[in-house]
Amino acid sequence: PDIDEKAIRHPDVETLVLTLGRAKATALLEGESGAQLKREGAWVLTGDQVVVCDGKMLEKPEDEQEARSFIGAYSKHPPSTVGSAVLTDASTGQQWETVFKATVHFDPIPEQTVNRLVEEGEIFHCAGGLMVEHPLVQPHIRSMEGTMDSVQGFDAASVCELLHKAAAARNSAAKLLGSSKVMGVWQAPHSTRTLCDIFGPPAHWRSSISSRVDLRPCTLQYAPSPRPNGEKDTQ
Protein backbone atom coordinates (compact mmCIF):
# COMPACT_ATOMS: atom_id res chain seq x y z
CA PRO A 1 0.00 0.00 0.00
CA ASP A 2 0.99 3.60 -0.45
CA ILE A 3 2.03 5.30 2.75
CA ASP A 4 3.62 8.69 3.25
CA GLU A 5 7.07 7.52 4.33
CA LYS A 6 8.33 11.09 4.64
CA ALA A 7 5.73 11.72 7.35
CA ILE A 8 7.27 8.99 9.51
CA ARG A 9 10.56 10.22 10.97
CA HIS A 10 12.83 9.18 13.83
CA PRO A 11 16.45 10.12 14.61
CA ASP A 12 17.38 6.48 15.30
CA VAL A 13 17.61 4.59 12.01
CA GLU A 14 16.78 1.18 13.50
CA THR A 15 13.62 2.56 15.07
CA LEU A 16 12.77 4.30 11.81
CA VAL A 17 12.95 1.23 9.57
CA LEU A 18 10.97 -0.84 12.08
CA THR A 19 8.31 1.87 12.38
CA LEU A 20 7.99 2.04 8.61
CA GLY A 21 7.71 -1.74 8.38
CA ARG A 22 4.91 -1.77 10.95
CA ALA A 23 3.13 1.11 9.20
CA LYS A 24 3.17 -0.78 5.90
CA ALA A 25 1.72 -3.88 7.57
CA THR A 26 -1.05 -1.83 9.18
CA ALA A 27 -1.89 -0.15 5.89
CA LEU A 28 -2.02 -3.48 4.09
CA LEU A 29 -4.25 -5.15 6.67
CA GLU A 30 -6.56 -2.14 6.81
CA GLY A 31 -6.72 -1.92 3.02
CA GLU A 32 -9.05 -3.58 0.57
CA SER A 33 -7.23 -6.94 0.74
CA GLY A 34 -7.01 -6.94 4.54
CA ALA A 35 -10.18 -8.93 5.18
CA GLN A 36 -9.12 -11.69 2.79
CA LEU A 37 -5.63 -11.88 4.28
CA LYS A 38 -7.12 -12.25 7.75
CA ARG A 39 -9.52 -15.00 6.60
CA GLU A 40 -6.69 -16.90 4.96
CA GLY A 41 -4.41 -16.52 7.97
CA ALA A 42 -1.70 -15.15 5.70
CA TRP A 43 1.77 -14.16 6.79
CA VAL A 44 2.36 -10.54 5.83
CA LEU A 45 6.00 -9.55 5.41
CA THR A 46 6.89 -5.86 5.25
CA GLY A 47 9.98 -3.80 5.83
CA ASP A 48 12.09 -0.84 4.89
CA GLN A 49 15.71 0.09 4.41
CA VAL A 50 17.90 3.16 4.56
CA VAL A 51 21.55 3.77 3.82
CA VAL A 52 23.81 5.54 6.30
CA CYS A 53 26.92 7.25 4.94
CA ASP A 54 29.27 9.57 6.83
CA GLY A 55 26.76 9.78 9.66
CA LYS A 56 23.91 10.82 7.36
CA MET A 57 20.80 8.82 6.58
CA LEU A 58 20.22 8.43 2.86
CA GLU A 59 16.96 7.35 1.24
CA LYS A 60 16.13 7.16 -2.46
CA PRO A 61 17.83 9.97 -4.42
CA GLU A 62 15.29 12.57 -5.50
CA ASP A 63 17.24 13.79 -8.54
CA GLU A 64 20.39 13.25 -10.59
CA GLN A 65 22.48 15.65 -8.53
CA GLU A 66 21.64 13.85 -5.30
CA ALA A 67 22.32 10.43 -6.85
CA ARG A 68 25.76 11.57 -8.03
CA SER A 69 26.49 13.03 -4.62
CA PHE A 70 25.56 9.77 -2.88
CA ILE A 71 27.63 7.54 -5.16
CA GLY A 72 30.59 9.90 -5.19
CA ALA A 73 30.92 9.72 -1.43
CA TYR A 74 30.98 5.93 -1.15
CA SER A 75 34.71 5.43 -1.78
CA LYS A 76 35.58 7.89 1.01
CA HIS A 77 32.83 6.92 3.45
CA PRO A 78 31.72 3.25 3.25
CA PRO A 79 27.90 3.12 3.20
CA SER A 80 26.03 0.91 5.62
CA THR A 81 22.56 -0.46 4.98
CA VAL A 82 20.04 -0.75 7.81
CA GLY A 83 16.99 -2.82 6.95
CA SER A 84 13.99 -4.22 8.75
CA ALA A 85 11.67 -7.17 8.35
CA VAL A 86 8.30 -7.22 10.11
CA LEU A 87 6.30 -10.43 9.91
CA THR A 88 2.63 -10.17 10.83
CA ASP A 89 0.16 -12.99 11.38
CA ALA A 90 -2.85 -11.49 9.62
CA SER A 91 -5.28 -13.65 11.57
CA THR A 92 -4.12 -12.48 15.01
CA GLY A 93 -2.14 -9.31 14.40
CA GLN A 94 0.85 -10.74 16.27
CA GLN A 95 4.19 -9.48 14.92
CA TRP A 96 7.83 -10.55 14.89
CA GLU A 97 10.50 -8.15 13.73
CA THR A 98 14.23 -7.77 13.23
CA VAL A 99 16.85 -5.34 11.95
CA PHE A 100 19.81 -6.35 9.77
CA LYS A 101 22.89 -4.37 8.73
CA ALA A 102 25.75 -4.51 6.26
CA THR A 103 28.61 -2.25 5.19
CA VAL A 104 30.16 -2.01 1.72
CA HIS A 105 33.67 -0.73 1.01
CA PHE A 106 34.12 0.78 -2.45
CA ASP A 107 36.99 1.80 -4.66
CA PRO A 108 36.32 5.07 -6.53
CA ILE A 109 33.50 4.59 -9.05
CA PRO A 110 34.41 6.15 -12.45
CA GLU A 111 32.28 9.03 -13.69
CA GLN A 112 31.50 7.08 -16.86
CA THR A 113 29.98 4.32 -14.75
CA VAL A 114 27.96 6.82 -12.73
CA ASN A 115 26.68 8.36 -15.97
CA ARG A 116 25.42 4.99 -17.18
CA LEU A 117 23.75 4.25 -13.85
CA VAL A 118 21.97 7.60 -13.93
CA GLU A 119 20.85 7.03 -17.51
CA GLU A 120 19.40 3.63 -16.66
CA GLY A 121 17.45 5.16 -13.77
CA GLU A 122 17.25 2.13 -11.49
CA ILE A 123 19.33 3.83 -8.80
CA PHE A 124 16.46 6.26 -8.17
CA HIS A 125 14.43 3.35 -6.79
CA CYS A 126 17.13 2.27 -4.31
CA ALA A 127 17.97 3.69 -0.90
CA GLY A 128 21.11 5.79 -1.30
CA GLY A 129 21.21 4.90 -4.99
CA LEU A 130 23.07 1.80 -3.81
CA MET A 131 22.99 -1.13 -6.25
CA VAL A 132 25.69 -3.59 -5.21
CA GLU A 133 24.27 -6.30 -7.46
CA HIS A 134 24.58 -4.19 -10.61
CA PRO A 135 27.27 -5.49 -13.04
CA LEU A 136 28.61 -1.95 -13.45
CA VAL A 137 29.02 -1.53 -9.69
CA GLN A 138 30.39 -4.92 -8.63
CA PRO A 139 33.93 -4.43 -10.05
CA HIS A 140 34.33 -1.45 -7.71
CA ILE A 141 33.40 -3.28 -4.49
CA ARG A 142 36.53 -3.82 -2.41
CA SER A 143 34.93 -5.75 0.46
CA MET A 144 31.63 -6.27 2.22
CA GLU A 145 30.68 -6.79 5.86
CA GLY A 146 27.42 -8.69 5.81
CA THR A 147 25.58 -10.55 3.08
CA MET A 148 24.59 -9.48 -0.41
CA ASP A 149 20.90 -10.18 0.23
CA SER A 150 21.04 -8.01 3.36
CA VAL A 151 22.44 -5.11 1.36
CA GLN A 152 19.68 -5.64 -1.21
CA GLY A 153 17.05 -5.31 1.51
CA PHE A 154 15.98 -8.92 2.10
CA ASP A 155 18.09 -10.80 4.62
CA ALA A 156 17.02 -14.40 4.08
CA ALA A 157 18.51 -15.73 7.31
CA SER A 158 16.72 -13.09 9.39
CA VAL A 159 13.39 -13.69 7.66
CA CYS A 160 13.81 -17.45 8.10
CA GLU A 161 14.26 -16.93 11.83
CA LEU A 162 11.11 -14.79 12.02
CA LEU A 163 9.11 -17.41 10.12
CA HIS A 164 10.40 -20.12 12.44
CA LYS A 165 9.25 -18.15 15.49
CA ALA A 166 5.90 -17.30 13.89
CA ALA A 167 5.21 -20.90 12.88
CA ALA A 168 6.11 -22.11 16.37
CA ALA A 169 3.75 -19.58 17.94
CA ARG A 170 0.92 -20.58 15.62
CA ASN A 171 1.47 -24.26 16.27
CA SER A 172 1.53 -23.67 20.04
CA ALA A 173 -1.71 -21.73 19.87
CA ALA A 174 -3.33 -24.48 17.82
CA LYS A 175 -2.31 -27.12 20.36
CA LEU A 176 -3.92 -25.11 23.13
CA LEU A 177 -7.11 -24.98 21.08
CA GLY A 178 -6.92 -28.69 20.31
CA SER A 179 -6.51 -28.20 16.57
CA SER A 180 -5.06 -31.13 14.64
CA LYS A 181 -3.71 -29.07 11.75
CA VAL A 182 -2.50 -25.48 11.51
CA MET A 183 -2.93 -23.51 8.30
CA GLY A 184 -1.16 -26.16 6.19
CA VAL A 185 2.12 -25.77 8.07
CA TRP A 186 4.02 -29.05 8.09
CA GLN A 187 5.75 -29.91 11.37
CA ALA A 188 9.13 -31.41 10.56
CA PRO A 189 10.11 -34.37 12.75
CA HIS A 190 13.50 -32.81 13.55
CA SER A 191 14.21 -29.88 15.85
CA THR A 192 16.47 -28.09 13.34
CA ARG A 193 14.29 -26.64 10.62
CA THR A 194 15.02 -24.29 7.76
CA LEU A 195 12.67 -22.02 5.87
CA CYS A 196 11.96 -24.84 3.44
CA ASP A 197 11.28 -27.25 6.31
CA ILE A 198 8.51 -24.98 7.54
CA PHE A 199 6.92 -23.89 4.28
CA GLY A 200 8.02 -26.47 1.73
CA PRO A 201 10.31 -25.76 -1.25
CA PRO A 202 10.34 -22.19 -2.64
CA ALA A 203 8.58 -23.36 -5.80
CA HIS A 204 5.48 -23.90 -3.68
CA TRP A 205 5.38 -20.40 -2.15
CA ARG A 206 2.97 -17.81 -3.50
CA SER A 207 4.89 -14.65 -2.84
CA SER A 208 5.28 -11.06 -4.01
CA ILE A 209 8.55 -10.48 -2.15
CA SER A 210 10.76 -7.87 -3.73
CA SER A 211 14.45 -8.67 -3.34
CA ARG A 212 15.40 -5.16 -4.36
CA VAL A 213 16.75 -2.66 -1.87
CA ASP A 214 13.24 -1.43 -1.09
CA LEU A 215 11.42 -4.31 0.59
CA ARG A 216 7.79 -3.79 -0.38
CA PRO A 217 4.81 -5.34 1.43
CA CYS A 218 4.15 -8.94 0.53
CA THR A 219 2.45 -12.07 1.77
CA LEU A 220 3.73 -15.59 2.17
CA GLN A 221 1.15 -18.33 1.89
CA TYR A 222 1.84 -22.03 1.99
CA ALA A 223 0.75 -24.02 -1.07
CA PRO A 224 0.49 -27.65 0.09
CA SER A 225 2.32 -30.27 -1.90
CA PRO A 226 2.63 -34.04 -1.44
CA ARG A 227 5.34 -35.11 1.01
CA PRO A 228 8.03 -37.56 -0.11
CA ASN A 229 7.08 -41.26 -0.08
CA GLY A 230 3.46 -40.44 0.54
CA GLU A 231 4.24 -38.91 3.97
CA LYS A 232 1.32 -36.96 5.36
CA ASP A 233 1.06 -33.91 7.58
CA THR A 234 1.85 -34.88 11.15
CA GLN A 235 -0.04 -32.05 12.89
Residue 57 vs residues 5, 27, 68, 220: alpha-carbon distances, Å: 14, 24, 16, 30
Q: What gap in Å lies between CA 67 and CA 117, rounded to an integer?
A: 9
For the chain, how big is the Rg over CA atoms in Å? 20
Q: What gap in Å lies between CA 102 and CA 50, rounded to an integer?
A: 11
Q: What gap in Å lies between CA 134 and CA 117, rounded to an integer?
A: 9
Beta bridge partners of 207: 220
Residue in 2, 12, 48, 233 annotated catalytic? 48
Q: What gap in Å lies between CA 187 and CA 27, rounded to an integer?
A: 31
Residue 48 appears among annotated catalytic residues:
yes
Active site residues: 48
